[in-house]
Every structure is written in C-alpha cells, then in structure tokens.
Chains A and B, each alone.
Chain A
Amino acid sequence: MILNTQKFLLKNLKNTRKLLNIRLLSTVGDEKYKGNYDVIIAGGGMVGCTLACAMAKNPLLSSLKVLLLEGSPDKKFELKPEYSNRVVALSQNTKLLMSSINVWQHVENMRLQPVRHMQVWDACSDAMISFSSSEILDDDVAYIVENDVLLHAVNTELNKTNNKNLDIVYGAKIDSYKLPTSTDRELKSLVKLANGDAYSCQLLIGADGANSAVRRAMGVQYVSWNYKQMGVVATLHLAEETENTTAWQRWLPTGPVALLPLDSKRSSLVWSTWEENAKELLKLPEEQFVDALNDALWKQYPRSSAVDACMSWVGGCLRGAGLADGAARQLPPSVRGIAPASRAAFPLGFGHSTRYVAPGVALVGDAAHRVHPLAGQGVNLGFGDIKELTELLADTVYTGFDITHPDWMRRYESERQKHNVPTQLAIEALHRLYTVDFPPVVLLRSIGVQVTNALQPIKKFVMAHAAT
C-alpha cells in the first residue's frame, strides 16, 4: 500500500513538473528557446562582468551554469596612448576584490594612477579639507582607472579562467523578463531578447545599470530623482608636469568640479553642473571651454564677509588648540587644453531600490543604487555588492541549499542596504549642502569642514567608510 501510494505521489509530482515546464515554455511561444541556466546575469557592464568573473573563479560557484547577456557588441579592446574620458576612482576595497580574483594585475599591466592626496575646497569660503594617504591610511587613497581598462582586465581574466560553464552573449538586447511569482513551486525566470531568443534560469541577476529593466520587472519601489545636472567629462592636459597624485575637487554653487589624476601631465575631468550649463559647455570651442574650466577652478566667488570672519575665528581657535586648520592648502593645477573630442556629458541622478531581491532575482550595482559622482563611490558600491553576493552564494551552495534560497538573498539585501543607503544619503546631503550659496549654510558647512579637517579621528572615519 505504502509503495503504491508513493508511486502515485511520485507520478503526480513528476506530472506537475512536466506541466510547469510546458507552461513556462508555452509562454515563449514561437520564439527560440535557447536553454536553461543556473544563473543569468543581465548586463555586462563593469559590475556584471566582475560578477561573472568572481563566480567563475570561486571553487564553489564555478560549476554553476552562468549566462552573461550584454546589449552592446563585443568591442576589441586596444590600449591607446590617449586616455578614455570615462574613468572611475576605485577604493582600496575594490582593489582587494580585484586582487582576489586576479584582475588587479591586469589593470596594473595596462595603466592606473594612484591617488595619494585629496583636496576638497569651497568656492564660497576658505574651507577646505585634505586627505593624504600617509596621514590617514597606510596605502593610497584611491586609484583612477579607465572604465574600458577595468572591463578589459576583467575580460582578460575571464578568458584565462576559461570556465566552460560560462556563456557570454554580446549584442544581446534584452526585450523582456518574466519573473516567477512567490507561489510558483519552481523558481524560474524567463529572459527574452529582441531577436526572439529566450533563456530561462533559476537565479536572475540584474546588473543592467541605473535604468534597470530587471528592477522594473520586479515591480519594486524605486526612489529616484533627477538632479537636473549633468557630469561633463573630458581628458585634460595640465599646464605643468608634476607627480600628479592629487585628486582635486572644488565646490562651486553649481556643483563640484573634480580633477582626477591620470599621469604626470593629464587629468580626467568630472564637472557636475546644471543641464543647460553642461550643454553650453559641450558646445564651447575647446579654448573657451578650457578658460571656463580654469575659471571654475580658480575664480573668486562673491563671498560673505561674515562667513570669512567666522572662519578665521574658528581657525584661530583650532590653532589655539594645537590643531592644523587647513593651512596646508595646495594650489590646484592649471589646465592647458583638452584631448580632442574627449568632451561628453552624462545625466546625474539619485536612485534607491527599496528591495534588492525578489524570489529568484537580485539586483547589483547601479541597478540597485545610483549616486551623484561627487564622492566617486558609484561603482565601488556595486563591487561591494559583488563581494557580498558571491560570499553569501558560495556559503549557500556549501551548505547544500538552492541558489535561490531566500535566506542568503535576504541577508544580501540587508547587508548591502546597511552599507549603501547611509553612503547614498551622506552623498546626497553633501550635494544639497553645497549647491547653495546662502551665507548661513555656507558658514555651517565651512566650519564643519574646517573642524573635520583638523580632527584626525573623524577624517579617518570618513576615509575608512569611503574605502569600503
């Protein structure tokens, strides 16, 4: 009897399974169903590719069948003498992650520039803060790396690893997703491409950037706003050759202008400003653009004498207490010219996905969180996601659980939000604080900066958080 019952039950369950698969496939209709994967990574930007690489290199995850789908074509990379205008500042933690998966050496073999000092100053007052690797960390503050170089380094390592379980499809424009509902017995997502190809997977990872379609398919709440600002980027030629290991950032009432070092004579520009202003800047003849930029770096803005008076009083107090108050000010470089056709502008925005996970789906990188580039944190947050996600997933697999187990996904979300959200809010607060020139606000922020600069422990704290 028991045996019969079992057989009956088994048959039943097997039938349901078959039915499930048929149902899933029938939604594909006449499209070309190309197969099932354990994991599909939607989006092969810096974050998606790094995830694929970190998984391929993890002994517990390398046997998972992974498909990486990237919309853009597979470009042949070539290290040109001219720098790309898209660069990122990578934190120490990102370096650690990249070293652990062997990618950093490829970056070093191509090129990167260490940042050993950082100077941030206010156009509306004398307030400034400077970080030096020697005084804060034992190591460099950050590294400036071109997006292309980083991506190529990741791909180089991926090729070397030659993981047979990883498939990459370039030029794969994803058209739509069908995500599982929590009542589905078997978690399976369906991914359809514009060319009609379709794939299914247990675990879908959305690494498809700020405009994430995976996130939209999840139907989660997305808190976002547009700054009505754009980041104007360009490769700059400096007037003088120096060691050039300082990252400069000046707060203008329109937003921050930042110079990130590339080599002894070149720096990369990220100039955040209002959209109309950005568009004008793009249209200016190159010489006039350089003048406008030098103005932005050097020009005296109208100041409030009350603010200045207070600042020098606070400075006096700090000196009285034996604390350096920012006297170690260095002069920013002058810009001689820009690399031809290196100007471009990118829209800036804030975005926070209230959920990073749903049954069988997780978001990483800009798909989950988007920040103003003023702190150079954007992609570092994404790499932090990758580290956490791969560790938790490996742990799950090592415990014998399904890769879609809700426990690791919940942990992933809560761990990352615990880090990302405060960082995003801090960046947001800075942005708001600095896009005003109302004297009381200027005074408050200036004193805050002046005091912070004088107090090593606070600076260390700020640095340590920025490094993670």
Chain B
Amino acid sequence: MSSAVLRMPWLAYQKIFNKTIASQTRLLSSVNAVKKDDVQTITTVDKSDVEFFSNQMNHWWELDGPLKALHSMNLIRIPFVRDGLVQCSPAERNLSPLRDKKILDVGCGGGILSEGLARLGATVTGIDASKDLIAVAEAHKVLDPRIENNKPTYYNITIEDHISKYSNYYDAVVASEVIEHVNNQELFVKSCVQALKPGGRIFFTTPNRTRLSQLLVIYLAENVLKLLEKGSHQYEKFITPNELTFLLERNNCHVESVYGILYHFLANSWEFVRAQSLMYAMQAVKLN
C-alpha cells in the first residue's frame, strides 16, 4: 500500500505546493475568480519584503527543495515535448533541437519548465495567473548563463486573455500539471488550441480520474497519511484521458500519443509507463 502511495507522482509536490504557496492553488483556477485573487496577491507582494520574495525564490528554485519533484519532472516532460516536436537520429542531434520553435508554457509558475525548454533553443512564452510567481520567474531567468540570449518572456495573464493577441501563433502549447486545477476545462482546452498554429502540437501532463487515484491521492493522502491538506484536490476536477481526448478532438486536434507516468518518491525520479491510472501525458496535433 505505502509503496503505491510513494510512487504517486504528483503527490509529493502537491503537498508542498499547497502548504507553502497559498496563491498557487488559486493560480490556475483560470477563467473565474482569478482576477480578484490576483489583486490580493499583488497587495501581498507589495506589502511583503525582500525576505518573502527570496523565500519564494528559494522555494521554487532549490533543486533539492520543496518543489524538487517538479524539477525532476523535467527529466521526462522536456524529452516528451522535444521528441514530440523534433525527431532525429542520434547522429543528427544538436544542442538546440527546439530552435525556431515558439512554445507557450501555460501555468508556468516560477518558470521551471519554461527555462528548461529555453535551454533547448525554444522561444518560450510563459503565462501564469499569479503575479508573484511571474515575478519569481522573471527574477530567475537572468540567473542562468545558458539562456542569457534566449530568456523566456513571461506574462501575468490567463490563457483566455492571452489568445486575444496570440492566436494561431505557437508551434507548441504545453500545459503541464495545470488542467486539474482549472474550473472550465472546456474553455481552457479551446483557448490553448486557439493559441496553436495549425500543425502545432499541444502537450498535457495531468493526473487521471480513477478510483485508484481517488483512493490514493485523495482519501489516503489527505485523510490517512496526511500527506496533503484536506481539500487539496477535487476529484471532480481530475480529467481522464478519454475526456481530454474528447475535448481535443472537439477542438480540431488529433491525439498522437498517450503515456502513463510514474513517480518514484524515494529516488525522486519519473518514468513513462504503460499504466495511465495515476497520471498521464498526452500529445495532440492541431489539424488544418
């Protein structure tokens, strides 16, 4: 039993996710309520001092810190996006496989994935509904010399608003660990797809909605093991691969691949597996 829980992918980071940054759980509630929350967030940031800010910074960017699972998740989600966009034999590989690719990182948070993709040469735009997380991302992007000439651009904006300017614009849209926090998933998917160029690809990673994930993630983790605060997750917001496929197809996309994802808690490592019952990654292409 416990080993199953330990393997639970997102549990580890969700735990701290919720504990430390209150605004974070709000961050992706997308569509409604965000604006109001955000005003509060801004005031907290304004009132807060340097220490608060650098705490946030450490919180997000300490590789072995509270969000270490999110950092280590780059081990699978970067290859997932990279290989979904470019496929070449080992001999043809180069250090900037994503050069000339415009990628939108929806719900970029402190920029962990955005910077990772920028390192591969991609022109990355990160958007997040939380102003203080965008501030963290902005502050951090100047620190890595390897993206000195290719820093991501960050906007504190929702996807729905972002597409008013950037419609049919991106080669790829990435929504990693986001859709399970969104209120109106239909609108979310529609907006994400709208940001994509025809032929562009969209990448999701998210927990599945299964009895197993309900048992392990919600009941066990919140009530028995107390790994998560009560109410961290709403079971109803989890989306199954079938539902996500349906939403994508309704928006003129063709699903190209789905993989299960497993997190090894003790090793802090991630792995693509066949079973999709806990968490999965989905890649789709926008048809013309």
A6 and B54 contact, CB distance less than 8 A: no
Q: Which of B134-142, B206-214, B226-234, B252-260 contacts A (4 or more CB under 8 A)?
A: B134-142
- C-alpha gap A400/B120 in the complex (Å): 6
- C-alpha gap A1/B131 in the complex (Å): 13
Residue from A9, A10, A13, A399 in contact with B79 in the complex, judged by beta carbons closer than 8 Å: A399
Q: Which of B12-20, B89-97, B158-166, B193-201 contacts A (4 or more CB under 8 A)?
A: B89-97
B82 and A399 contact, CB distance less than 8 A: yes
Chain A contacts for B139, CB-based, 8 A:
5-6, 9-10
- C-alpha gap A60/B82 in the complex (Å): 15
Give the shortest distance, in Å, between B173 (CB) and chain A (any CB): 19
Query: In the complex, which residues 399-429 of chain A have their Cβ closer than 8 Å to any Cβ of chain B?
Result: 399-401, 407, 410
B53 and A400 contact, CB distance less than 8 A: no
A60 and B93 contact, CB distance less than 8 A: yes
- C-alpha gap A10/B50 in the complex (Å): 12
- The answer, yes or no, to whether A63 is at the interface (CB within 8 Å) is yes
- C-alpha gap A2/B74 in the complex (Å): 27
A397 and B95 contact, CB distance less than 8 A: yes
Knowing A13-B143, A398-B93, A400-B116, the reply to whether A6 touches B135 (Cβ < 8 A) is: yes
Residue from A2, A63, A400, A410 in contact with B78 in the complex, judged by beta carbons closer than 8 Å: A400
Chain A: number of interface residues, binned into ranges: 20 to 34
A407 and B93 contact, CB distance less than 8 A: no
- C-alpha gap A399/B142 in the complex (Å): 20
Give the shortest distance, in Å, between B95 (CB) and chain A (any CB): 6
The interface centre, meaning the residue of A5, A63, A397, A400 with most chain B CB atoms within 10 A of its CB, is A400
Chain A 37-67 near chain B by CB (<8 Å), digits 1 or 0: 0000000000000000000000110010000
Residue from B78, B135, B142, B267 in contact with A5 in the complex, judged by beta carbons closer than 8 Å: B135
Chain B contacts for A8, CB-based, 8 A:
50
Chain A contacts for B116, CB-based, 8 A:
400
- The answer, yes or no, to whether A394 is at the interface (CB within 8 Å) is yes
The interface centre, meaning the residue of B54, B72, B138, B139 with most chain A CB atoms within 10 A of its CB, is B139
- C-alpha gap A6/B79 in the complex (Å): 31
A9 and B50 contact, CB distance less than 8 A: yes
Prevailing SS type, chain B contact patch: helix
Give the shortest distance, in Å, between B65 (CB) and chain A (any CB): 12
Give the shortest distance, in Å, between A37 (CB) and chain B (any CB): 16
Residue of B whose beta carbon sits closest to that of A10: B142
Chain B: number of interface residues, binned into ranges: 20 to 34
Chain B 90-128 near chain A by CB (<8 Å), digits 1 or 0: 111111010000000000000000001101100000000
- The answer, yes or no, to whether B239 is at the interface (CB within 8 Å) is no
Chain B 167-193 near chain A by CB (<8 Å), digits 1 or 0: 000000000000000000000000000
Give the shortest distance, in Å, between B70 (CB) and chain A (any CB): 14
Query: In the complex, which residues 347-400 of chain A have their Cβ closer than 8 Å to any Cβ of chain B?
Result: 394, 397-400
- The answer, yes or no, to whether B33 is at the interface (CB within 8 Å) is no
Residue of A whose beta carbon sits closest to that of B119: A400
Give the shortest distance, in Å, between B159 (CB) and chain A (any CB): 22
Knowing A5-B53, A5-B135, the reply to whether A60 touches B75 (Cβ < 8 A) is: no
A1 and B46 contact, CB distance less than 8 A: yes
The interface centre, meaning the residue of A59, A398, A410 with most chain B CB atoms within 10 A of its CB, is A398
Chain A 1-31 near chain B by CB (<8 Å), digits 1 or 0: 1100110111011000000000000000000
Chain A contacts for B269, CB-based, 8 A:
407
B78 and A60 contact, CB distance less than 8 A: no
Chain A contacts for B120, CB-based, 8 A:
399-400
B45 and A1 contact, CB distance less than 8 A: yes
Given contacts A9-B57, A63-B95, 15 further A-B contacts (CB under 8 A): A5-B50, A5-B135, A8-B50, A13-B143, A59-B92, A394-B90, A397-B95, A398-B95, A398-B97, A399-B79, A399-B82, A400-B116, A400-B117, A401-B74, A407-B75
27 contacts between A and B (CB under 8 A): A1-B45, A1-B46, A2-B53, A2-B135, A2-B138, A5-B135, A6-B138, A8-B50, A9-B54, A9-B57, A10-B142, A10-B143, A12-B54, A59-B92, A60-B95, A394-B93, A398-B93, A398-B97, A399-B74, A399-B75, A399-B79, A400-B119, A400-B120, A400-B146, A407-B75, A407-B269, A410-B267
> Closest 9 CB pairs between A and B?
A400-B119, A6-B139, A5-B53, A400-B120, A2-B135, A399-B78, A1-B46, A5-B50, A8-B50
Task: Show the binding face of A for B, using Cβ within 8 Å.
Answer: 1-2, 5-6, 8-10, 12-13, 59-60, 63, 394, 397-401, 407, 410
